[in-house]
Amino acid sequence: MTFSNSLINWYLQNKRDLPWRKTTDSYVIWLSEIILQQTRVAQGLPYFESFVSNFPSVFDLANAQEEQVLKLWQGLGYYSRARNLHATAKHVVGELNGVFPTTYDQLIKLKGIGSYTASAIASFSVNENVAVLDGNVFRVLSRYYKVENDLSIASTKKIFQQLANEILPIQDAQTYNQAIMEFGALQCVPKSPNCSICILADSCAALQYKLVHSLPIKSKKIKVTNRYFNYVVFEDLEHKTIVHKRIEKGIWQNLYEFPLVESHAILSESEIVKLIKDRFSSTFKITNYTVLTDFEIIHKLSHQKLHIQFIKVSINAVLFNGVTVNALNKIPFPVVIHNFIERHFS
Ligand code: SF4
């Protein structure tokens, strides 16, 4: 039996029952694909269900306020995905009469859709003959065929793409693409796959040459930058606080946060208080500073490690632009700040 037929047979017996596999609607498949980028299925599932029920059609998503989209996305991370999702829905409604594309060539032109996502949507919705390449597929192919090229090098992708195209069974891209990704997610897993029960064990080159644990090769490690966020949680005489939208490019764009004092290192309590005094005491009548040590957090993103602390600053006045605790619940925040609000203000 060929590699692709073996995988399809395995898939038909072992696949998980997932809602986006029960449709060929390219809009719904697109939602699932964007939500599942860099996200585990268990984490993405409730977000998928909430997006489909809040925005059953591309028109509903296009007509939504960006804050509603970001609020529903809250906790999933990589918020540019949500902003692109919204922008693409508007584009499809405004420029394409609300007809969500189904072919690779049309899909690749849309914001937030790269080669993998375009192949996935085109094959799952209309069975277009295009091979997907994602982390799972790289791993399965590199092990089974003993491809020892370094995935950190851009040209390696072409080698895998060529191999993937050669293997792709004509007329069955829909099932085969699902099958190889599912096989990578459930059987040929990154750490210690159970090769003794694998249907491909007899012909797998990595197993034969004892290379299972060293393939795929990815030499370059992601460089992680440390950042130090000191959030100033003002509290006025009416228990109102201040938040504002983060408009600069980079992490958390268009989400809300407390006034931020970023420092170059973790600061002592007296250093933070001095910094806040210098920055804000000419604007506000400050009566007290409390570093909320219970809420010190290290939040890891793909390229950044955020060291976050919250400092409560009491003001002997009523803030002109203050926000009530009830209003905070309706505003989209990064999940670390949302969690802080839930615990601190409840
Ligand atoms: S034998 Fe092991 S390494 Fe080879 S495809 Fe199966 S699970 Fe992956």
pLDDT in tens, 97-134: 999 999 999 999 999 999 999 999 999 999 999 999 99
Same fold, 3-208 and 225-344: no
DSSP states along 139-188: HHHHHHTT---BTTSTTHHHHHHHHHHHHSPTT-HHHHHHHHHHHHHHTS
Distance 248 CA to ligand 1 centre (A): 45
pLDDT over 90, % of the chain = 75
In the chain, where are the structural domains located?
A: 3-208, 225-344
Give the model's pLDDT for residue 1.
76
Give the residues across from 288 on adjacent strands. Answer: 314
**Of ligand 1's atoms, which has the minimum distance to the CA of residue 143?**
3
Distance 147 CA to ligand 1 centre (A): 13
Q: Which of 194, 200, 211 to mutate to test the pocket of ligand 1 (most atoms within 8 A of CB)?
A: 200
Amino acid of residue 75: G
For the domain covering 225-344, report its CATH number.
3.90.79.10
- The predicted model scores a pTM of 0.81
DSSP state of 74: T
Neighbours of 8 (CB within 10 A): 19
For the domain covering 3-208, report its CATH number.
1.10.340.30
Are the CB atoms for 100 and 58 separated by under 8 Å? yes
Q: Which of 136, 143, 187 to mutate to test the pocket of ligand 1 (most atoms within 8 A of CB)?
A: 143
**Of ligand 1's atoms, which has the minimum distance to the CA of residue 205?**
4
Distance 127 CA to ligand 1 centre (A): 27
Distance 251 CA to ligand 1 centre (A): 37
Average pLDDT over residues 216-244: 90
pLDDT band with cut points at 50, 70 and 90 for residue 285? confident
Q: Output the average pLDDT for the chain.
A: 93
pLDDT band with cut points at 50, 70 and 90 for residue 55? very high
Looking at ligand 1, which residue's alpha carbon is closest to its atom 2? Answer: 195
DSSP state of 268: P
DSSP state of 217: B
Residue 112 Rama label (left phi>0; alpha psi -120 to 50; beta):
left
Residues with C-beta less than 6 Å from any ligand 1 atom: 143-144, 187-188, 193, 195, 198, 200-201, 204, 206-207, 212
Q: Which of 14, 136, 187 to mutate to test the pocket of ligand 1 (most atoms within 8 A of CB)?
A: 187
> For the chain, how many residues are written?
346
Query: And the tokens for 339?
Result: 């969690």
Sign of the alpha-carbon torsion through 153, 115, 148, 302: positive
pLDDT in tens, 238-279: 999 999 999 988 899 999 999 999 998 888 888 888 888 888
Q: Of 11-25, 204-218, 245-259, where does mean pLDDT reach its minimum?
A: 245-259
Distance 201 CA to ligand 1 centre (A): 6
User: For residues 75 and 59, what is the distance between their CA atoms, to the nearest angstrom?
Assistant: 24
Looking at ligand 1, which residue's alpha carbon is closest to its atom 4? Answer: 204
Amino acid of residue 343: R
Q: Which residues are catalytic?
A: 33
